[in-house]
Every structure is written in structure tokens, then in C-alpha cells.
């Protein structure tokens, strides 16, 4: 991953990132994502893991999901770049809409 994403006065308050994984070592994928987030920004809270059914393409493994609250000192564009870097570092490639993935990050 590239250097930390640090915002300034553009951001404010908190942001919640929703993490999901249904490929590979799902628990490890989520833990690694939280660890990478901690290196990039201030992680304020982490939810427990919960399982969820896939939507759209239903013939795939269930997702493990987790919410992470961070200090949002980033612009919306910087948050999006951070989310995309996390997904790529977990091995996500173009899986198509609603496809299986090692990591999905929603803002």
C-alpha cells in the first residue's frame, strides 16, 4: 500500500467503513484490512463479525462482515482511494457486480 491517507480540514467527524469477505480466509481478510486501516488512519471502533447472505448472485459463499469507525480527516475522494487500496491489497480483482470477493469495502 502507499503512504498514509491523511486529510486536513476537508474531512470532519467520523466515517464508517463496512468490510465484507466471502472468498479465501474470510476472518484473516477482515483482520488484515483492519490492521492496514490502523496504519493509515485512526480506528475508533470495530464491530463484531457477522455473517450475511450474498445478494444478486446467490450461488456463492456467505459473507463475513464487519463495521469499522474511523476518524474522517479525509476528503470523500481520499476515503474512496483508501477503500480501493484495501480491496486491491487483499487480492480483489474485477469480480463483477455482486460477485464473490476476498474483500469489499463500502463507505
pLDDT recorded at residue 33? 96
Rg of the chain (C-alpha set): 14
Q: How many helices (H) and strands (E) does the chain have?
A: 2, 5
State the pLDDT at residue 97: 67
The pLDDT of residue 19 is 97
C-alpha cell at 49: 463479525
Rounded Cα–Cα distance for residues 67 and 80 (Å): 16
pLDDT confidence of residue 5? 45
Q: Which residue has the higher pLDDT, 95 or 61?
A: 61
Strand pairing report for 14-21 and 43-46 = unpaired
- In this predicted structure, what is the pLDDT of residue 96? 66
Q: Average pLDDT for residues 27-47, to the nearest whole number?
A: 95
Give domain 14-106's CATH number out of 3.30.70.560, 2.40.170.20, 3.40.50.11690, 3.40.50.300: 3.30.70.560
Neighbours of 81 (CB within 10 A): 14
pLDDT band at 28 (very low <50, low <70, confident <90, very high): very high
Amino acid at each position: 500500500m502507499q503512504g498514509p491517507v491523511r486529510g486536513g480540514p476537508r474531512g470532519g467527524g467520523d466515517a464508517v467503513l463496512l468490510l465484507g469477505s466471502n472468498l479465501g480466509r474470510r476472518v484473516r481478510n477482515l483482520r488484515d484490512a483492519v490492521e492496514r486501516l490502523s496504519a493509515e488512519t485512526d480506528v475508533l471502533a470495530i464491530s463484531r463479525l457477522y455473517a450475511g447472505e450474498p445478494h444478486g448472485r446467490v450461488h456463492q459463499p456467505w459473507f463475513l462482515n464487519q463495521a469499522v469507525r474511523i476518524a474522517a480527516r479525509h476528503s470523500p475522494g481520499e476515503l474512496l482511494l483508501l477503500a480501493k487500496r484495501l480491496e486491491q491489497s487483499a487480492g480483489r480483482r474485477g469480480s463483477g457486480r455482486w460477485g464473490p470477493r476476498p474483500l469489499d469495502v463500502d463507505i
